[in-house]
Amino acid sequence: MESTFSCGNYMIPPRMLSEKSILITGGTGSFGREFVRLALKNFNPKKVIIYSRDEWKQSEMQSLEEFKHSAIRFFLGDVRDRDRLELAMRQVDYVIHAAALKQVPAAEYNPHEFIKTNVNGATNVMEAALKAGVKKVLALSTDKAVNPVNLYGATKLCSDKVFIAANSYGSGGGTVFSVVRYGNVVGSRGSVIPIFQKQRETGTISITNPEMTRFLITLRQGAEFVLKSLGDMVGGELFIPKIPACTVADIANLVAPDCDWDTIGLRPGEKMHEVLIPEDEARNVMEFENHFVIQPIQTFWGNKIGIKGGTKCPDNFTYASNINTVQFSGEELKLLLKDFIPS
């Protein structure tokens, strides 16, 4: 029997990335760094290519001892540049597509820029991977791509569609494409937790609605799930982890326990509850122990989805931060937010 190692909730075969070349778009971001740490610690990759457009972030990352590894390569480039992507992907086995513009308010004011990076960039990654003969491409999505109410979410929905449909071109032993979708990463830039942490110095925090609910996942858990999905994917799946949720009031009471609340209501583009699987997609959803898989609407490329098993969800199934979701206990949330709670 093949040996495996424990990776969070998952068992991963060590050979999965052994002697493989992996390229990560947006590799200098928080997810990219965490994924690289995970890959170098648990595998023996032949090459890990950090593809990003910010030379300062690359220089900063290179200066850190944990990234001074013989397998790491730094490659300057933008996902808007297909020629550069094609060059970077030569002899690459796997691509993790994490590059994106993500700030919701900025998207509303600069829609063209978000479309160029998130939609056209996704198309460039897909086409470059096909031309280079990459084996697998796994793209990162967001809960905001579900029934989007803001431009950022709309661009990520388009990106998801690009990668799922790309399996039409890579069938018959060619490149396969899948997508991972999950909720809020604890402590990520612009998220509510660091905002509360900063505002508590004033004694008052701005809270949208105390009853608003949010999924919470750590950076490490997100990277582990992407790694697991990379091993499982056969092409066309949209992977969704099972994640606990909590209310915004729960977060506020832990991060800013002695502060007054200034309730400001939902901001433009915000939802009361996060949805990872809408009822409209339920008929295509398979449930597994630790995750869900949304199967593609069209299966005209002869995909292999279904060979991994799973249980079909009811036609009216919804997976949202307030429905069919385990809620954090007080102690669990306290442990999760320990780095943000006042001492």
Q: What is the pLDDT of residues 173-228, one digit of tens each?
A: 689 999 999 988 997 777 889 899 999 999 999 999 999 999 999 999 999 999 99
The confidence score (pLDDT) of residue 104 equals 87
At 2, the pLDDT band (50, 70, 90 cuts) reads very low
Residues paired with residue 245 on neighbouring β-strands, in sequence order: 215, 327
Percent of the chain with pLDDT over 70: 92
Q: What is the set of active-site residues?
A: 144
CATH no., domain 18-336:
3.40.50.720
Of 15-19, 111-115, 267-271, 297-301, minimum mean pLDDT range: 297-301
pLDDT at 254 over 50: yes
The confidence score (pLDDT) of residue 11 equals 66
At 6, the pLDDT band (50, 70, 90 cuts) reads low
pLDDT at 59 over 90: yes
pLDDT in tens, 275-293: 999 999 999 999 999 999 9
Q: Which residue has the higher pLDDT, 298 or 240?
A: 240
Q: Which residue has the higher pLDDT, 298 or 67?
A: 67
DSSP secondary structure, 33-69, as one string: HHHHHHHHHH---SEEEEEES-HHHHHHHHTSGGG--
The confidence score (pLDDT) of residue 1 equals 40
Q: State how far the Cα of 178 lies from the Cα of 165, in Å rounded to an integer.
A: 10
pLDDT at 56 over 50: yes
Q: State how far the Cα of 337 lies from the Cα of 124, in Å rounded to an integer.
A: 38
The confidence score (pLDDT) of residue 14 equals 67
The confidence score (pLDDT) of residue 302 equals 57
The confidence score (pLDDT) of residue 301 equals 59
Give the pTM: 0.93
Q: State how far the Cα of 61 lies from the Cα of 182, in Å rounded to an integer.
A: 26
The confidence score (pLDDT) of residue 18 equals 87
Where in 129-220 does DSSP place strands (E)? 136-140, 176-180, 184-185, 204-207, 213-217
Count of other CB atoms within 10 angstroms of residue 309: 7
Q: Cα Rg for the chain, rounded, in angstroms?
A: 20
